[in-house]
Structure 1
Amino acid sequence: MAEYIHGTHPEIVKRLKRAEGHLKSVIAMIESGRPCLDIAQQLHAVEKAIMQAKRTLIQDHLDHCLEDTVGALPRGKRRSIDEFKSITKYL
């Protein structure tokens, strides 16, 4: 199997490790009986970090892997690919 390592991967790993640490904190908060509002706020931060990591991974894949597969296209066809890449930012 080929390796798929891109320039953004170290940053994604760092972000996910940070989210992992926050998630462990959330578990400890629940176990220690912290207020639900505090827990919900921390869970929201974890969720946001994971979503951003996913978004970065998908965008990176589109920018590199899709470009390699599609190759050079005439401007008319290029527009569809560019629009597809842009709309995925809203996932």
Structure 2
Amino acid sequence: MAHDHETRGYDDKKADYLKRLRRIEGQARGLQRMVEEDQYCIDILTQVSAMTKALQSVSLGLLDDHLSHCVVDAARAGGAESDAKIREASDAIARLVRS
């Protein structure tokens, strides 16, 4: 869901997030290479676990940024936008818990 805002909660950490996501992208390529090279299953699973933890770390950081910026700003404004932002954050947390 795209939203038009002048700033994002993660603006000051954007470079860090991009660096981390590029590292995760490299891990995904490494996993593909491991499968292509018929590496040992447990070694592949270990790398999948590391990549999953890296993605979870990015997700939690983005969620924290969203809560401390977007949700707090909406709560200060009150009304329907506040309710929508809280519901949106709650839905995002539920998706993360299920993943």
Q: Please indicate the TM-score interval, normalised by the length of the shorter structure.
A: 0.7 to 0.9
The alignment covers a number of residue pairs equal to 79
| TM value normalised by structure 1 | 0.73
> Which of 1 and 2 has greater Rg?
1
* Residues 21-63 of structure 1: per-residue CA shift (max 9 Å, x gap): 0110010000100000110011111111011001100100101
**Residues 36, 3 of structure 1: CA spacing in aligned structure 2 closer, same or farther, 3 A cutoff?**
farther
| 39, 42, 48: which one aligns with 1:37 | 42
Percent same amino acid at aligned positions? Answer: 33
- Cα separation, 1, equivalents of 2:38 and 2:6: 44
- Cα separation, 1, equivalents of 2:14 and 2:53: 18
CA RMSD of aligned residues (A): 2.5
Q: Which runs of 5+ in 2 are unaligned?
A: 78-85, 87-92
| TM value normalised by structure 2 | 0.67
Q: Which runs of 5+ in 1 are unaligned?
A: 73-80, 82-87
